[in-house]
Amino acid sequence: MRASSVRENGRQQQSSGSEAASFTDRLPAALSGPWLLRGHDGRLIVYTHVDQAVLRWTESRVGSRDWLGPDVLPAKGLSHLTVAQGRNRYAHLLGRRVRTAKDGSLTVDLTYAIQYQAGRPLSEWRSIGNPHAKRERTALLGAPAAAVGADGALHVFAPTAEGRISMRREDAQGRWESWLDLKVTAALDTPAAAATSTGRLELLAPARTGALAWHLGEPGAAPERGYDAAVVPLPGSMTGVETSPGRVTFYATDVRTGEMAALRAGEWPVPLGGNPGDGRHAAVMTTLDGYPCTVLAHRGADGRIMLGVCVAEDERGGVWWTDTGKACVGDPVLALDGYGRVVILAVSADGSMALARQEDGQGLTLSSWTRI
């Protein structure tokens, strides 16, 4: 493998063209993101969270070098945002919203919106509340994580006071169930969640002595505690991906060693190297030269994007790392485009969005970087 130097009634309206054009030359600083998703029609969609808004770009057509946007989607008061996608390709935007009362006190809740089709407006933002019953404690709520089950139900996980994790999810009719306390007091930060094609959902939360694990065996099932991983994950570094039917692999930075590690239920952690920085890892599954493979990416300790490839669930056989030479701000992200090609997206040092795409040939060769 080598890398090149490498709008509806009742719905929230996106900005006018003139307002969006004001972001073209210089993007505002991102608060979180970016996220890279493939829409229902195969076009890629990019989201990034800035002050009081979400910016969105959409491929003009599948696999195109031309992009539409940025569209400016109002998102007032959000301190954090995460984006999750299910098998139906709906994009669920989930945010932690902070509002100031007349007496100066803060009220925090979680709010979400949905994009059903590429390029269309978001639904209106709706609150799903806060697991803290007392208003003065709502500000103790941490940044949420989300995953969409095989049945299309959104699952929300949030760290609360005293190291607890709370879960809220939709039921089979799309109604929100009550908040559920997952009965721990040792979680340090936002967990990572991943759903599988078989209906299983797994959750991993960083703790001082390891990683706390849960699983839901099927849609609607109660969460069950799993075997905790013997790696202390760097908060904010974890990501999970389905690496074989019904099996999730989490990737995290091990605080003790500073290296990346692969974590799977029932197995010993596997050290991967990769010289990661302090950000989140990205992972996507694809087929290379006839083999199912995991493609990994992160911002290295020197600020440049590292790209890794290994045979799926055979990390012990070796991960082939490549320094792309591309400096970035924040965390790179990975996705497959409408033709099944690997795409890597990152925020360049000048604040612009840039991506590289898999080219034809053996292994994983990336195109030159292009600006959105």
Whole-prediction pTM value? 0.92
Structure tokens at 177: 């169930």
pLDDT in tens, 22-53: 454 557 788 889 999 999 999 999 999 999 99
In this structure, how many other beta carbons lie within 10 angstroms of the beta carbon of residue 313? 17
| Residue 106: predicted pLDDT | 85
Task: Give yes or no for a contact between 215 and 199, defined as CB atoms under 8 angstroms apart.
Answer: no
Per-residue tokens: 136? 């003065």
pLDDT of 227-272, one tens digit each?
999 999 999 999 999 999 999 999 999 999 999 999 999 999 999 9
Closest listed residue to residue 252, CA positions, set 206, 311, 309, 306? 206
Which residue positions in the chain have pLDDT lower than 50? Answer: 1-13, 15-22, 24
At residue 103, the pLDDT reads 81
Instruction: State the Cα angle at 33 between 9 and 131, rounded to 5°.
Output: 75
Q: State the pLDDT at residue 26.
A: 59
Give the whole-angstrom CA distance, residue 121 versus residue 114: 9
pLDDT at 118: 85
Look at residue 20 in the predicted model and tell me its pLDDT: 47
